[in-house]
């Protein structure tokens, strides 16, 4: 059974072909602003290397973010059209969960916590907190966008709650210019230094989500997590005008 | 000969549109999800809102277009999609989806220049007879072009500042009319006096094939301000008629100059503003006067739509100009750059 995975929500473009529970071939690229030109040719090339035709695919897995809005829409749009055309299920997975699964092999042994953080500007980060549970991950703090300091104290508390008997691994995509904003933990890994594992992370994350079929595929959307600023301003203007029941 | 079916996808601004067109001419289906109502609240298009809306409806739009045309993806001969110019985030949604369809079907892929699409609309449900002179007038563009038998374009000139459609929207706002303002002005202009206001006509006495509408818009604003200060009543119909006349005088004169310069007798008038009744009348009069043949797209194909993109893709296919799946989306895209994208 062949499964195609793809994610364009971060600066790492990840694609992979899974056959018989194994990554048969994968390709990643982290060329800035290169996802739009690279995505389709990379998918073509991994299918070709895996001697697989699109019609042999049984499922498509796509990372839906959170992350870069323009970036995440590319893989989501392409995965939706491919799944519709092939009439196969589409599995939308969290990019954060995929990052967390991709980081599991970095941990030698013992109990662990995983904190994937994606930089969301203005001192904020998209993130989630997971803990290792058997072969999988358990969600301790669900995906959200928070001040970076909030993520930092949340993870610190989680470690203290476990009497410091747990290893905390943070995986992040903070740009160099924002290096001073990176929370300070013992194990901090930049996404790019673990990018080769992201396709496998996407596949593992897909095993926890329900496949979308036919009509449901139309409804698959990126997880933006933040409203468009113009919409926020419009609502605030409306609230200012009508908030007290009187026109201001 | 077997007909050739092209799927066309357009997402360059605030319409998500898909269509199936046979031989660049016969529209088998056209499905458009317009976002006008969504953007009206903001007084203009918000790019991020537009992109979010496109990704929410893109596959549904395409599926509906295929269903209405009663064809399956495998029965098509090609897939065409707008790759620019336009809003980058919006373009990327249509482009990524189109690449997905092309990748799984193995169909030839045609990246289309948005303006070339507007010109190709003139061949929908009508004869396509290049070489032709093209005047493209829309909210974002005012251009004079030549299209040849291989669907290659040469730009003769264009606006140096605002597009004609943009001037229509701005003047409509000054007059307190609804967005989009073009159709409102056109309607009111028919009832007004075109000589009521003395408004400027840029480049009218020059041989240069350029347009400028920014000064015209400012002149209307200044005249309205003067009237307000002097407690002078200016009927909105007269403002609209005078403004429209100034725009039309320039468009007609420049088109006539371009026809003389190129020796071309067939003229396409395309783009959103080509649905304007005043423009149609003025260009038809020019055609009679100067013995030219004039082609207007059906008004339903004048605004952004997938059928015009499919038609453009068909002309590219006929000329043997395919694209590859590594093509990018471009906020700005010249005809020369676009022509280099295909082999």
User: Which architecture characterizes domain B132-297 according to CATH?
Assistant: 2-Layer Sandwich (3.30)
Note whether B5-124+301-339 and B132-297 share their fold: yes
Kindly determine whether residue A36 and residue B329, on different chains, have CB atoms separated by under 8 Å: yes
Find chain B residues with C-beta within 8 A of A224's C-beta: 52
List, for residues B300-340, the tens digit of each pLDDT value.
999 999 999 999 999 999 999 999 999 999 999 999 999 99
Contact A84/B at CB under 8 A:
yes
Alpha helices, DSSP H only, in B106-230?
114-120, 164-174, 182-189, 214-229
Do the chains contact at A230 and B52, CB–CB below 8 Å?
Answer: no
- Whether residues A234 and B104 touch (CB distance < 8 A) is answered with no
The pLDDT tens digits of the residues spanning B134-191 come to: 999 988 889 999 999 999 999 999 999 999 998 998 999 999 998 778 899 999 999 9
Residues of A in contact with B46 (CB under 8 A): 228, 230-231
> Which residue is it, tokens 């709650």?
A161
Q: Whole-angstrom Cα distance, residue B212 to residue B203?
A: 8
pLDDT of residue A244: 39
Where in chain B are the domains?
5-124+301-339, 132-297
CA gap B21, B312 in Å, rounded: 10
DSSP output for chain A: -EEEEEE-SSSSEEEEEEETTEEEEEEEE--TT-HHHHHHHHHHHHHHHTT--GGGEEEEEEE--SS-HHHHHHHHHHHHHHHHHHT--EEEE-HHHHHHHHHGGG--SS-EEEEEEEE-STTEEEEEEEEEETTEEEEEEEEEEEEHHHHHHHHHHHHHHTTT-SEEEEEE---GGGGGGS---SEEEEGGGGGGGHHHHHHHHHTTSPPB-THHHHT------S--HHHHHHHHHHHHHHTTSS--
Q: Of the candidates A35, A44, A31, A39, which has an alpha carbon nearest to the alpha carbon of residue A71?
A: A35
Which residue of B45, B50, B82, B97 to mutate against A (max A Cβ within 10 Å)?
Answer: B97
Distance between CA A125 and CA A149 in Å, rounded?
9
Distance of CA B93 to CAs A56, B51, B172, Å?
A: 25, 7, 31
Q: Over its length of 343 residues, how does chain B's per-residue pLDDT go in tens digits?
A: 789 999 999 999 999 999 999 999 999 999 999 998 888 888 778 999 999 999 999 999 999 999 999 999 999 999 999 999 999 999 999 999 999 999 999 999 999 999 999 999 999 999 999 999 999 998 888 999 999 999 999 999 999 999 999 899 899 999 999 877 889 999 999 999 999 999 999 998 899 999 999 999 999 999 999 999 999 999 999 999 999 999 999 999 999 999 999 999 999 999 989 999 999 999 999 999 999 999 999 999 999 999 999 999 999 999 999 999 999 999 999 999 999 999 7
B304 carries a ligand binding annotation = yes
**B136 marked as binding residue:** yes
Does the CB of A14 have a partner CB in chain B at under 8 Å? no
Res B129: pLDDT: 92
Judging contacts by C-beta atoms under 8 Å, the chain A residues touching residue B59 are 80-81, 84, 217-218
Supply the ipTM of this predicted assembly.
Answer: 0.94
Provide the residue count of chain A.
248
CA distance A37 to chain B (A): 4
Q: Is A225 on the interface with B (CB under 8 A)?
A: no
B54 is in an annotated binding site: no
**A154 vs chain B: nearest CA distance in angstroms?**
31
pLDDT tens digits in sequence order for chain A, 248 residues long: 899 999 999 999 999 999 988 999 999 999 888 999 999 999 999 999 999 999 999 999 999 999 999 999 999 999 999 999 999 999 999 999 999 999 999 888 889 999 999 999 999 999 999 999 888 899 999 999 999 999 999 999 999 999 999 999 999 999 999 999 999 887 899 999 999 999 999 999 999 999 999 999 999 999 999 999 888 888 888 766 554 334 33
Q: Where in chain A is the domain with CATH 3.30.420.40?
A: 2-94+198-227, 96-194
Name every residue whose Cβ is closer than 8 Å to that of residue B94 and which is 6 or more positions away in sequence.
A77, B9, B10, B11, B12, B16, B54, B58, B81, B82
Asked if B131 has any chain A CB less than 8 Å from its own CB, the reply is: no
Q: Is B81 on the interface with A (CB under 8 A)?
A: no
Please state the length of chain B: 343
The structural architecture, per CATH, of the domain B5-124+301-339 is 2-Layer Sandwich (3.30)
Give domain A96-194's CATH superfamily. ATPase, nucleotide binding domain (3.30.420.40)
Q: Tokens at residue B75, please?
A: 């029965």
Q: Indicate the CATH number for domain A2-94+198-227.
A: 3.30.420.40
Token readout for B248 is: 């039309």
């Amino acid at each position: 059974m062949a499964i195609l995975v793809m994610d364009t929500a971060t600066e790492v473009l990840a694609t992979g072909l899974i056959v018989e529970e194994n990554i048969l071939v994968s390709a990643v690229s982290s060329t800035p602003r290169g996802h739009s030109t690279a995505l389709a040719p990379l998918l073509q090339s991994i299918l070709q290397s895996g001697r697989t035709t699109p019609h042999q695919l049984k499922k498509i897995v796509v990372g839906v973010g959170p992350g870069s809005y323009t970036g995440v829409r590319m893989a989501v749009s392409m995965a939706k059209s491919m799944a519709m055309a092939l009439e196969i299920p589409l599995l939308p997975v969290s990019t954060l969960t995929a990052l967390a699964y991709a980081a599991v092999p970095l941990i030698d042994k013992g109990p662990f916590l995983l904190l994937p953080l994606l930089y969301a500007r203005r001192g904020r980060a998209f993130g989630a907190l997971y803990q290792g549970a058997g072969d999988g991950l358990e969600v301790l703090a669900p995906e959200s966008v928070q001040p970076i300091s909030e993520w930092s104290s949340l993870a610190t508390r989680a470690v203290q709650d476990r009497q410091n008997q747990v290893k905390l691994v943070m995986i992040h995509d903070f740009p160099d210019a924002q290096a001073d904003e990176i929370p300070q933990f013992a194990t901090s890994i930049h996404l790019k230094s673990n990018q080769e594992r992201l396709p496998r992370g996407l596949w593992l994350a897909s095993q926890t989500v329900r496949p979308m079929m036919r009509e449901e595929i139309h409804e698959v959307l990126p997880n933006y997590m933040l409203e468009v600023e113009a919409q926020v301003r419009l609502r605030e203007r409306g609230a200012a005008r009508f908030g007290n029941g009187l026109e201001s | 000969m077997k007909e050739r079916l092209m799927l066309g996808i357009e997402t360059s601004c605030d319409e998500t549109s898909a269509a199936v067109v046979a031989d660049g001419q016969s529209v088998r289906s056209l499905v458009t999800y317009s976002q006008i109502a969504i953007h009206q609240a903001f007084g203009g298009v918000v790019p991020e809102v537009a992109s979010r809306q496109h990704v929410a409806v893109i596959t549904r739009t395409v599926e509906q277009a295929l269903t209405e045309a009663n064809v399956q993806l495998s029965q098509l001969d090609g897939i065409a999609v707008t790759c620019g110019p336009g809003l980058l985030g919006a373009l990327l949604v249509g482009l990524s989806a189109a690449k997905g369809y092309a990748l799984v079907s193995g169909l030839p892929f045609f990246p289309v220049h948005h303006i070339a699409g507007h010109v190709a609309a003139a061949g929908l449900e009508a004869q396509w007879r290049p070489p032709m002179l093209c005047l493209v007038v829309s909210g974002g563009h005012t251009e004079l072009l030549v299209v040849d038998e291989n669907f290659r374009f040469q730009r003769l000139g264009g606006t140096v500042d605002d597009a004609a459609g943009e001037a229509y929207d701005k003047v409509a706002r000054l007059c307190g009319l609804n967005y989009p303002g073009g159709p409102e002005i056109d309607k009111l202009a028919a009832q007004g006096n075109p000589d009521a206001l003395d408004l400027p006509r840029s480049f009218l006495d020059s041989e240069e094939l350029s347009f400028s509408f920014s000064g015209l818009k400012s002149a209307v604003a200044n005249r309205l301000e003067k009237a307000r200060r002097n407690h002078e009543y200016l009927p909105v119909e007269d403002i609209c008629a005078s403004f429209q006349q100034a725009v039309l005088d320039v468009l007609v004169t420049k088109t006539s100059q371009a026809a003389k310069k190129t020796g071309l007798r067939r003229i396409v008038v395309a783009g959103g503003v080509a649905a304007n009744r005043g423009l149609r009348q003025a260009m038809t009069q020019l055609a009679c006067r100067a013995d030219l043949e004039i082609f207007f797209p059906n008004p339903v194909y004048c605004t952004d739509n997938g059928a015009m993109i499919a038609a453009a893709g068909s002309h590219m296919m006929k000329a043997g100009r395919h694209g590859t799946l590594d093509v990018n989306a471009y906020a700005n895209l010249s005809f020369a750059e676009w022509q280099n994208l295909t082999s």
